C-alpha cells in the first residue's frame, strides 16, 4: 500500500481497454503508476491481481502490483502525479450523436485535484477541438490557471487494437500534440519514456482528426468489400477468391474482408464523430454516409441469405432453428460492443426463425437463448448454423461436417453443406 505522500509519474484515469494496457506498459518501463477508476469492482479486482481486460492477463496485473501499481477510486492521487492521462470511453447518445459526458466528468475530477506544473493528456477518441475547446476551459475555469503556463495540456490518441499480438503500446507509433509547442514537448518526452516511436502532430486538432481518419478509412473500405460481396453473390462469383487474388498485389491495395456488419467501440462510433464534426462545419462526408448505409444493412442481408438458404433446402423459414456461432465483435476478443450479432439475431427473428447462439467467451446476447458447453450438440440440432466470428476455439472442419447447413460469413469453411458470404 502506498503512503498518502507517494508520488506518481503518471495517473491513468480510466483503466479500461485503453487505459489498462497503457498503465501496464508504463509500469513495465519503470514508471510509478496509479490507475484511477470510478468502478469499485474493477479497482478491487485489479488490487487482487485480476484483470478485466482480455489483452492484459492476470499475471501482468500481478507484475504491475509488484512494481508499485496502485489501483484506486480516490481522485486525491491526481494531486501526487506529474502526468495525468485521461482514457475514459467516448460513445454516442441515444440519438447517435457524440457523447462527451465521460470526458467532461473526468476532466472536472482532474481539475479539482491537479497540481501546478502537471501535464494533462487526453487519449479518448474524440472530435477535433475537444482538447482545446472542452478540456482546456474546464480546467482553466476550475483552477484559474492557464494552459501552457501553470499546467501543460496535450492530446495523444489511443491506438489499442484488442487481440493484436504483433502491435501493442510499446511498438505502435504514438501521435502526440500539445496546446502549445512546450506542451507538445512535454507530451513527447513523457511517451518517449516507454514508447518506441513518437510522432509530433502540428496541433491537437490534427492529432484528434488523425485518429478519426484512421478508423474511418477502415470503415469505408470494409463497406466497399461488403458491397462487393453482395454483388459477387448476385453474379455467382466467389468473392473470397477475388479478394485473395487482389491481395497479392504488393502495392496500391490494402486487404479488407467482408462480414455480417461492423462492430467494436471504435470503427462504427468514430465515423459518427467525424460526420458530426463535418456537419457542424457545414460540410458533408458523402462517402461516410454511403459506407454507413452499406455496413448497417449487412445484418439484414445476412438474414435474407439465411432465409434463401433454408428455402433452397426445403426447410420452412418460419420456425427454423438457427444457431449463431461467435457473437463478439472480433475474433478471440470477449467483447460485444457494437457487435452486429444482435442485429443479425433480430433480423432472423423478424423472418420467424428460432434463434439461439453459442460463444466460447462469457458474453451475452440479450433476448436469445444460449447454448452452453461444447457447440456441437447445438450445431447438429440446428437447421442452419451461421458462423459470425471464427474464434480459434471452433474446429471449422468439424463444424462443416456437423452442421446440417452452414452459412459462413467469414469465408473460412469448406464443404458440401457450406455456403459462404
Angstrom distance (rounded) from CA 180 to CA 177:
8
Beta bridge partners of 324: 357, 386
Pairing outcome for strands 384-387 and 70-72: unpaired
Looking at residue 94, its pLDDT comes to: 84
Which H or E element spans position 246? helix 239-246
Looking at residue 4, its pLDDT comes to: 65
Tell me the three state secondary structure of residue 290: helix
187 is catalytic: no
pLDDT in tens, 274-325: 999 999 999 999 999 999 999 999 999 999 999 999 999 999 999 999 999 9
pTM for the full predicted model: 0.92
Dihedral angle computed from the Cα positions of residues 82, 70, 41 and 327, in that order, rounded to the nearest 10 degrees: 80
SS3 content of the chain, % helix, strand, coil (to 5): 40, 15, 45
pLDDT in tens, 330-365: 999 999 999 999 999 999 999 999 999 999 999 999
Of the listed 87, 187, 232, 266, which one is catalytic?
A: 266
pLDDT at 57 exceeding the cut of 80: yes
Q: Crossing angle, helix 58-66 and helix 40-47, to 10 degrees? A: 80
Domains with residue ranges and CATH for the chain: 8-201 (3.40.50.720), 219-420 (3.40.50.720)
- DSSP for 296-359, please give it: HTHHHHHHHHHHHHHHHTT--STT-EEEEE--SSBTTB---TT-THHHHHHHHHHTT-EEEEE-
| HSE-CB of 36 using CA atoms within 13 angstroms | 24
Mean pLDDT across the chain = 96
pLDDT in tens, 181-226: 999 999 999 999 999 999 999 999 999 999 999 999 999 999 999 9
pLDDT in tens, 97-155: 899 999 999 999 999 999 999 999 999 999 999 999 999 999 999 999 999 999 999 99
Amino acid at each position: 500500500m502506498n503512503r498518502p505522500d507517494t508520488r506518481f509519474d503518471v495517473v491513468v484515469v480510466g483503466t479500461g481497454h485503453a487505459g489498462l494496457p497503457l498503465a501496464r506498459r508504463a509500469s513495465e518501463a519503470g514508471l510509478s503508476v496509479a490507475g484511477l477508476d470510478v468502478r469499485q469492482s474493477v479497482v478491487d479486482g485489479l488490487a487482487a491481481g485480476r484483470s478485466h481486460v482480455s489483452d492484459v492477463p492476470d499475471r501482468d496485473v500481478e507484475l504491475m502490483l509488484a512494481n508499485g501499481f496502485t489501483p484506486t477510486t480516490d481522485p486525491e492521487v491526481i494531486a501526487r502525479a506529474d502526468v495525468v492521462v485521461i482514457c475514459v470511453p467516448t460513445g454516442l447518445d441515444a440519438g447517435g450523436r457524440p457523447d462527451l459526458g465521460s470526458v467532461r466528468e473526468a476532466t472536472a475530477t482532474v481539475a479539482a485535484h491537479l497540481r501546478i506544473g502537471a501535464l494533462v493528456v487526453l487519449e479518448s477518441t474524440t472530435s477535433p477541438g475537444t482538447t482545446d475547446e472542452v478540456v482546456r476551459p474546464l480546467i482553466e475555469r476550475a483552477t484559474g490557471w492557464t494552459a501552457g503556463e501553470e499546467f501543460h495540456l496535450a492530446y495523444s490518441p489511443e491506438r489499442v487494437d484488442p487481440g493484436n499480438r504483433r502491435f501493442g503500446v510499446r511498438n505502435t507509433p504514438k501521435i502526440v500534440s500539445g496546446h502549445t509547442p512546450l506542451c507538445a514537448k512535454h507530451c513527447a518526452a513523457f511517451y518517449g519514456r516507454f514508447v518506441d516511436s513518437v510522432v509530433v502532430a502540428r496541433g491537437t486538432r490534427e492529432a484528434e482528426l488523425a485518429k478519426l481518419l484512421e478508423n474511418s478509412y477502415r470503415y469505408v473500405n470494409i463497406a466497399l468489400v461488403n458491397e462487393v460481396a453482395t454483388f459477387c453473390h448476385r453474379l455467382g462469383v466467389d468473392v473470397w477468391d477475388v479478394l485473395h487474388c487482389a491481395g497479392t498485389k504488393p502495392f496500391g491495395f490494402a486487404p479488407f474482408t467482408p462480414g455480417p456488419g461492423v462492430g467494436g467501440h471504435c470503427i462504427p462510433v468514430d465515423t459518427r464523430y467525424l460526420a458530426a464534426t463535418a456537419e457542424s462545419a457545414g460540410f458533408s462526408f458523402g462517402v461516410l454516409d454511403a459506407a454507413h448505409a452499406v455496413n448497417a444493412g449487412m445484418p439484414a442481408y445476412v438474414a435474407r441469405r439465411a432465409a434463401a438458404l433454408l428455402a433452397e433446402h426445403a426447410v420452412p423459414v418460419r420456425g427454423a432453428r438457427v444457431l449463431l456461432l461467435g457473437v463478439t465483435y472480433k475474433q478471440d476478443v470477449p467483447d460485444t460492443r457494437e457487435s452486429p450479432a444482435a442485429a443479425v439475431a433480430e433480423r432472423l427473428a423478424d423472418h420467424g426463425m428460432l434463434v439461439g447462439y453459442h460463444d466460447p467467451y462469457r458474453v451475452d446476447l440479450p433476448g436469445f437463448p444460449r447454448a452452453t458447453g461444447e457447440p456441437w450438440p447445438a450445431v447438429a440440432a440446428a437447421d442452419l448454423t451461421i458462423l459470425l466470428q471464427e474464434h480459434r476455439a471452433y474446429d471449422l472442419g468439424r463444424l462443416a461436417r456437423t452442421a446440417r447447413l452452414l452459412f459462413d460469413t467469414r469465408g473460412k469453411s469448406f464443404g458440401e453443406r457450406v455456403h459462404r458470404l
